[in-house]
């Protein structure tokens, strides 16, 4: 029974940590995946280069991996850029809500003198 509650507590703690750090964990997993992917692609490249001689297969590997790198970098840039923009928008909305408590003027008569209000054309 104690083991069950301990497991549930640890799973719950891990879930709460993962929930708040999901972006970082995803970024870490993408980097690890890319390392393994590029290593396996390099091994395939070396194997094909040795067996094919002077073909353009090696160039196609380089172009493909270069495009993957560009797409990954652009995705991560926009992910972090949009994350900062979202935080900025949230902060702006909070500031707007705080500033809504300021007294507002109902009409322009507030700025006029008694004489100007009662003045007839």
For the stretch 63-84, pLDDT in tens is: 778 888 888 788 778 777 777 7
Burial class (CB within 10 angstroms; exposed 0-12, middle 13-18, buried 19+) of 49? middle
pLDDT tens profile 25-59: 777 788 788 888 888 887 887 787 777 766 666 67
Give a yes or no: residue 115 inside a domain: no
Residue 26 lies in a domain: yes
Q: What percent of the chain has pLDDT over 70?
A: 80
Mean pLDDT value across residues 78-92: 75
Determine which helix (DSSP H) or strand (DSSP E) holds 105, and give its type and residue range: none
Residue 35 and residue 41: Cα distance in Å, rounded? 10
Concatenated DSSP letters of 57-99: HHHHHHHHHHHHHHHHHHHHHHHHHHHHHHHHHHHHHHHHHHH
Structure token digits, residue 31:
């980097």
Domain encompassing residue 89: 2-97
Residue 28 located in a structural domain = yes
Instruction: Please give the C-alpha separations between residue 12 and each of 2, 7, 8, 23, in angstroms, as whole numbers.
Output: 15, 8, 6, 19
Total count of domains within the chain: 1
């Amino acid at each position: 029974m104690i083991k069950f509650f301990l497991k549930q507590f640890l799973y719950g703690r891990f879930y709460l940590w993962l929930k708040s750090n999901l972006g970082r964990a995803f970024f870490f997993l993408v980097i690890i995946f890319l390392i393994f992917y590029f290593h396996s692609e390099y091994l395939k490249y070396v194997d094909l280069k040795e067996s094919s001689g002077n073909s353009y297969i090696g160039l196609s590997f380089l172009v493909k991996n270069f495009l993957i790198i560009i797409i990954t970098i652009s995705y991560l840039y926009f992910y972090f850029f949009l994350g900062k923009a979202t935080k900025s928008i949230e902060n702006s909305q909070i500031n707007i809500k705080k500033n809504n408590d300021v007294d507002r003027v109902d009409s322009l008569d507030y700025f006029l003198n008694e004489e100007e209000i009662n003045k007839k054309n």
